[in-house]
Amino acid sequence: MAKKKRKQHQGHAAAPAASAGAQQLAEAGPPPKMKRKAYEREMRVLHGELVAMQEWVKATGAKICIVFEGRDTAGKGGTIKRITERVSPRVFRVIALPAPTEREKSQMYIQRYVPHLPAAGEVVIFDRSWYNRAGVERVMGFCTPEETERFLELVPGVEKAMADNGILLLKYWLEVSPGEQTRRLKSRINDPRKIWKLSDMHLKSYSRWYDYSRARDAMFAATDTAWGPWYIAHTDDKRRGRLNIIHHLLSQAPYKPLDHRDITLPRRQRARGYVEPDLPLRYIPEPF
């Protein structure tokens, strides 16, 4: 099954942007939300492929940098969790930087991101990145228009230097519809698990949908390059969106499926008189 899936990954990125079949699907409207059982079945296969990609990264010394940007509530964090939940944190590192300090504000803008770029045998995932300057900082007035324009002029050259150094750069923009964004934000209001995701900044950003659209469009126009293209993922259906993103991610790395290994556990040693000691140990309560 893994080999069959892998064949599907190859060439996925080369699919034509528009076709008669795609047009018919668009006219028919979006497919129904994906059921959990089907979703988990597909995710299990993709998780196995991510492990295979991980082993290829370790063996070859590949360097992969993945940038996740997008609308608020579009599902960046959930997608990153599904990518990383079955792989090694020593290989897959997630970077989510806080607001810059006063010292960092005085640095060259992209300087604080550079130390986190991948070394050989690493996959680094940015949960928001240097593109904050082209998005939230621009829209919310945290930088001047001149600073944004300067950033958009310089960042393609920085990313070209990354590519010339052997870094595979993958940039994903997660797009959600206005109605779905509203539904997701409302769902956070009374959910204690999600209330931390509903900050004053989220509320201010919510009212500026078209300012963010203009900022996004300008960012795409200036920074969509041959060495650092943007890939767009529609995530109104979070499950389909996550599967599609991971599927595409796998298609960008020339790894091979892992060979099956016949493994037999060794015999465990004998106790040779060992007895559990009667120590005053502190066991946790077991209410479940």
Q: What is the pLDDT of residues 41-70, one digit of tens each?
A: 999 999 999 999 999 999 999 999 999 999
Banded pLDDT at 197 (limits 50, 70, 90): confident
Give 199 or 168, the one with higher predicted confidence: 168
pLDDT at 13: 40
Q: Are 219 and 131 within 8 A, CB to CB?
A: yes
Banded pLDDT at 85 (limits 50, 70, 90): very high
Alpha-carbon torsion (194, 241, 210, 112), positive or negative? positive
Give 11 or 283, the one with higher predicted confidence: 283
pLDDT at 26: 54
pLDDT at 132: 96
The two tokens of residue 61 are 């010394």
Give 195 or 69, the one with higher predicted confidence: 69
3-class DSSP state of 245: helix
Q: Mean per-residue pLDDT for 126-141?
A: 96
Alpha-carbon torsion (14, 76, 168, 50), positive or negative? negative
Look at 190-199, 205-214, 248-257 and tell me which has the smallest mean pLDDT: 190-199
Q: Alpha-carbon Rg of the chain, whole angstroms?
A: 22
pLDDT at 146: 97
- Tell whether the model's pLDDT for residue 84 goes beyond 90: yes
pLDDT at 109: 95
Q: Mean per-residue pLDDT for 237-250?
A: 98
- Tell whether the model's pLDDT for residue 16 goes beyond 50: no
12: closest CA among 269, 283, 231?
A: 231
| Mean residue pLDDT across the chain | 91
pLDDT at 127: 97
- Count CB-CB contacts under 10 A for residue 9: 20
Banded pLDDT at 27 (limits 50, 70, 90): low
Look at 9-23, 94-108, 267-281 and tell me which has the smallest mean pLDDT: 9-23
Q: How far is the C-alpha of 72 from the C-alpha of 75, rounded, in Å?
A: 8
pLDDT at 108: 94
Angle formed by the axes of helices 2-9 and 36-60, to 10°? Answer: 80
Q: Mean per-residue pLDDT for 149-158?
A: 98
Q: What is the pLDDT of residues 220-229, one digit of tens each?
A: 999 999 999 9
Q: Mean per-residue pLDDT for 129-157?
A: 97
In 94-105, which positions are buried (b, 16+ CB within 10 angstroms) versus exposed (e)? bbeeeebeeeee
Helix boundaries (H) for the chain: 2-9, 20-28, 36-60, 76-84, 102-105, 136-139, 145-164, 178-189, 200-206, 209-223, 238-251
Q: How far is the C-alpha of 33 from the C-alpha of 240, rounded, in Å?
A: 8
Q: Are 217 and 138 within 8 A, CB to CB?
A: no
Q: How far is the C-alpha of 52 from the C-alpha of 87, rounded, in Å?
A: 10
